[in-house]
């Protein structure tokens, strides 16, 4: 086997592991990056498991193990944390390119946006796109995650600018958007200065649809607030814990 063929086989197996973990939303790394360490995470754990049955991968893992035991650094082995991130980024590019091709082929779409802070206190704004994809003579409604965007400003105008700027970045025309979906927060749903109104000013056909789950949650909250016995009950029990 040539050197080129050997590395092609190794990289094929590594990418298969990356795709496997990504499809299931599993974490790649843990507290250790060493071979044979039970705390080295899902990625290295699966690589070790496959190496038990795959001679090509077994040889590669053995070299990495030997270098770690000697405290030496292999010039290239493609299973380090930085390599994992690079493979994930490459897979992200190809998956997103396919999604964007489907969106452009469908032409019309709807956008859903929501935000929540992550563990590092960065406000992660999630973009979801819905569209009808045609397969031969059948249509299928698809809902795809597009990207995360850091959101540091919360006014309706700022969020509208963020949404339209993100769509422009991915070359998705705002004029083809037919629905926008957010929660019922005033900065999003406001009739005069909310995000939905700023986008409607640009595209009057982009109808605002509030989140049904958030609406139900607000109904439950307002209903419970009308009953003083319920408010007193939950308040007293919360303070007694």
Domain 107-225: which CATH class? Answer: alpha beta
218 alpha carbon, distance to own chain's centre:
27
Looking at per-residue pLDDT, the higher value among 238 and 152 belongs to 152
The Cα–Cα gap between 218 and 159 comes to 22
- Whole-prediction pTM value? 0.77
The Cα–Cα gap between 179 and 141 comes to 14
| Exposure letters 147-182 (e unless 16+ CB within 10 A, then b) | eebebeeeebeebbebbbebbeeeebebebbeebbb
Q: Which two tokens stand for residue 237?
A: 């029990």
Per-position DSSP letters for 161-215, written without gaps between them: HHHHHHHHHTT--GGGEEEEEE-S-HHHH-TTTSHHHHHHHH-TT-EEEE-HHHH
234: pLDDT confidence band, cut at 50, 70 and 90? Answer: low
> In this model, does residue 235 exceed pLDDT 70?
no
Mean pLDDT of 197-203: 94
User: What are the start and end residues of each CATH 3.30.420 domain in the chain?
Assistant: 107-225
- The predicted-structure confidence for 100-146, as pLDDT tens digits, reads as follows 999 999 999 999 998 877 777 777 889 999 999 887 778 889 999 99
Q: For the chain, how far is it from start to end, CA to CA, in angstroms?
A: 67
* Cα dihedral value 152, 213, 207, 168, nearest 10: 30
Sign of the torsion angle spanned by Cα atoms 47, 147, 30, 42: negative
Q: What is the pLDDT of residue 44?
A: 95
Sign of the torsion angle spanned by Cα atoms 46, 47, 50, 51: negative
H or E element: which one contains 132? strand 123-135
- The predicted-structure confidence for 154-187, as pLDDT tens digits, reads as follows 888 999 999 999 999 999 999 999 999 888 878 8
Looking at per-residue pLDDT, the higher value among 75 and 95 belongs to 95
Nearest residue to 97 (alpha-carbon basis) of 170, 162, 165: 170
Q: What is the pLDDT of residue 219?
A: 73
- The predicted-structure confidence for 3-51, as pLDDT tens digits, reads as follows 899 999 999 999 999 999 999 999 999 999 999 999 999 999 999 999 9
215: pLDDT confidence band, cut at 50, 70 and 90? Answer: low
78 phi/psi in degrees, rounded to 5: 65, 15
**In this structure, are residues 166 and 127 in contact, taking their beta carbons and an 8 Å threshold?**
yes
Q: What percent of the chain has pLDDT over 70?
A: 93
**Cα atoms in the 13 Å half-sphere on the side-chain side of 33:** 13
Q: Is 19 helix (H, G, I), strand (E, B) or coil?
A: helix
Q: What is the pLDDT of residue 70?
A: 87
Q: What is the pLDDT of residue 209?
A: 85
């Amino acid at each position: 086997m040539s050197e080129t063929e050997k590395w092609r086989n190794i990289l094929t197996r590594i990418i298969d592991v990356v795709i496997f973990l990504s499809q299931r939303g599993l974490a790649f790394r843990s507290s250790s990056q060493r071979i044979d360490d039970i705390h080295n995470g899902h990625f290295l754990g699966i690589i070790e498991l496959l190496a038990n049955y795959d001679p090509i991968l077994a040889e590669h893992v053995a070299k990495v193990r030997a270098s770690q035991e000697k405290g030496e650094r292999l010039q290239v082995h493609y299973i380090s944390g930085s390599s994992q991130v690079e493979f994930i980024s490459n897979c992200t590019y190809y998956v997103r390119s396919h999604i964007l091709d489907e969106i452009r082929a469908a032409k019309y779409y709807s956008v859903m946006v929501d935000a929540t802070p992550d563990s590092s206190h960065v406000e992660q704004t999630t973009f979801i796109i819905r569209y009808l994809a045609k397969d031969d003579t059948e249509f299928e409604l698809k809902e795809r995650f597009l990207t995360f965007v850091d959101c540091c400003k919360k006014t309706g105008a700022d969020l509208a600018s963020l949404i339209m700027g993100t769509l422009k970045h991915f070359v998705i025309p705002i004029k083809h958007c037919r629905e926008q979906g957010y929660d019922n927060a005033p900065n999003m749903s406001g009739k005069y200065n909310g995000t939905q109104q700023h986008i409607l000013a640009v595209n009057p056909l982009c109808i605002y649809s509030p989140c049904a789950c958030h609406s139900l949650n607000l109904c439950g909250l307002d209903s419970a607030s009308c009953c003083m016995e319920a408010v007193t009950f939950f308040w007293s029990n919360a303070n007694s814990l």
